[in-house]
Amino acid sequence: PYNGPSADQILEKRKKFLGPSLFYYYQKPLNIVEGKMQYLYDENGRRYLDAFAGIVTVSCGHCHPEVLNAITEQNKLLQHATTIYLHHAIADFAEALASKMPGNLKVVYFVNSGSEANELAMLMARLYSGNLGMISLRNAYHGGSSSTIGLTALNTWKYPIPEGEIHHVINPDPFRGVFGSDATRYAKDVQDHIEYGTSGKVAGFIAETIQGVGGAVELAPGYLKQVYDIVHKAGGVCIADEVQTGFGRTGSHYWGFETQGVIPDIVTMAKGIGNGLPLGAVVTTPEIANVMAQKIQFNTFGGNPVCSAGGLAVLRVIDKEKRQAHCADVGSHLIGRLRSLQDKHDIIGDVRGRGLMVGVELVTDRKEKTPAKAKTAILFENMRELGVLLGKGGLHGNVFRIKPPMCFTKDDADYLVDALDYAMSKL
């Protein structure tokens, strides 16, 4: 049993010693003391079904035994030395990760977070292209560091600082977007930005393949193919942010970009790659990697033995436990049940996503698509009371994000949907 400080004591200390910009979920924040696969436990031993996986980070499951064992064994031998010496773990992990990539994406860089991965990708794009301008989608989240904040396009996260040349193009959002699912018209906006807002040349384009923080928004079908062509013609490189969508979570494909039939020039990863370890990666082509060779590039903790051993175990577990197929199977069951729930409750404006990357957008008026912000907040608290932890997203905070650890089962999905049905009926 837990005999540490209470939730109130922790919160008080947090307020005193941690920055005031920190936010927490729930009016009375949860004190989580233990995790096991798709379950989390609070200080009273109450179990919660985790449908948000520490913001889409715990891929294999909380404290998955095989990943835990790999980390523990490596911890006992050597935790740190850096790439100034050789170590097999980083090389083995890079080889395994490269083997998962299509095309010529064969050169791996390890970093410690998603923001760092996107910083590095942006640096590569600018060096390789010789241009400065970056294009990202409105409603995107690519990080909170002082330069990735420029790529992020949700005002809740953006501090007013100089961002450099960044163009935020119209989001190809089939539900809320001005052009519906018409990828060509959205792609035209990218062309327009290049023609009217740049010298005609850009450094690159970055997009999540299903927007995460923005509320599980899947891009209009065919969009990336058209935009990649436009960006390449303007001298830029195309970056896929797979921080949330990678590693089989979408079910139909191992990488989110594959759902749009494209091969990016640079792929960035974090979160699920480490099942909770602080780990990120950038994978690119030898041609792009070559521009980095004009200087030395170093990251003290990037690819350290412990994170590399853990990351390698994650790749192994996802394959061994057939998690991609599992995400497809459980995800289609979950989405099917949520769509049935949509027939029953008018508040559900949209159910979308792929595999275990699912969004439920709540509206007060289906025709106007008015965000049901207040009701979402109430349901969110009530779901916690019913033992289900959801994510929340979208600029208006009216989208439930269901992105559980990939070991989530159909029974778990049923419990979640039944709980949501109950909570909505009580509204």
Contact residues for ligand PMP (CB under 6 A)? 55, 113-115, 118, 141-143, 208, 212-213, 241, 243-244, 270
Query: Nearer to ligand PMP by C-beta: 135 or 423?
Result: 135
Composition of the chain by helix, strand, coil, percent to 5: 40, 20, 40
Query: Nearer to ligand PMP by C-beta: 62 or 142?
Result: 142
Q: CB 3: neighbour CB atoms within 10 A? A: 5
Give the chain's length.
427
Closest separation between CB of residue 342 and ligand PMP, Å?
26
Query: Nearer to ligand PMP by C-beta: 210 or 423?
Result: 210
Q: How far is 208 from 137, CA to CA, in rounded Å?
A: 9
Region label for 348, one of left (φ > 0), alpha (ψ between -120 and 50) or beta (otherwise)? beta
- Residue from 140, 282, 267 nearest 211 by CA: 140
Q: How far is 406 from 244, CA to CA, in rounded Å?
A: 12
Closest separation between CB of residue 419 and ligand PMP, Å?
25
Classify the C-alpha dihedral 218-25-356-368 as positive or negative. negative
Give the tokens for residue 175: 């539900």
Place of tokens 């241009």: 131
Closest separation between CB of residue 260 and ligand PMP, Å?
15
Query: Nearer to ligand PMP by C-beta: 55 or 91?
Result: 55
Query: Nearer to ligand PMP by C-beta: 115 or 131?
Result: 115
Closest separation between CB of residue 228 and ligand PMP, Å?
18
Closest separation between CB of residue 210 and ligand PMP, Å?
9
* Residue least distant from ligand PMP (Cβ): 114
Query: Nearer to ligand PMP by C-beta: 71 or 269?
Result: 269
Classify the C-alpha dihedral 317-319-322-328 as positive or negative. positive
- Our CA dihedral for 116, 204, 352, 392, rounded to 10 degrees, sits at 40
Closest separation between CB of residue 151 and ligand PMP, Å?
9
Query: Nearer to ligand PMP by C-beta: 113 or 284?
Result: 113
Place of tokens 């069951």: 333
Query: Nearer to ligand PMP by C-beta: 207 or 372?
Result: 207
Q: With contact defined as beta carbons under 8 Å apart, do 384 and 277 qualify?
A: no
Query: Nearer to ligand PMP by C-beta: 173 or 208?
Result: 208
What DSSP line would sit under 328-368, residue for residue? HHHHHHHHHHHHHHHHH-TTEEEEEEETTEEEEEEEEETTT
Closest separation between CB of residue 244 and ligand PMP, Å?
5
- Our CA dihedral for 31, 33, 35, 40, rounded to 10 degrees, sits at -30
Closest separation between CB of residue 291 and ligand PMP, Å?
23
Closest separation between CB of residue 114 and ligand PMP, Å?
2
What are the φ/ψ torsions at residue 357 (nearest 5 degrees)?
-130, 85
Q: How far is 401 from 394, CA to CA, in rounded Å?
A: 9
Closest separation between CB of residue 346 and ligand PMP, Å?
30
Query: Nearer to ligand PMP by C-beta: 258 or 329?
Result: 258
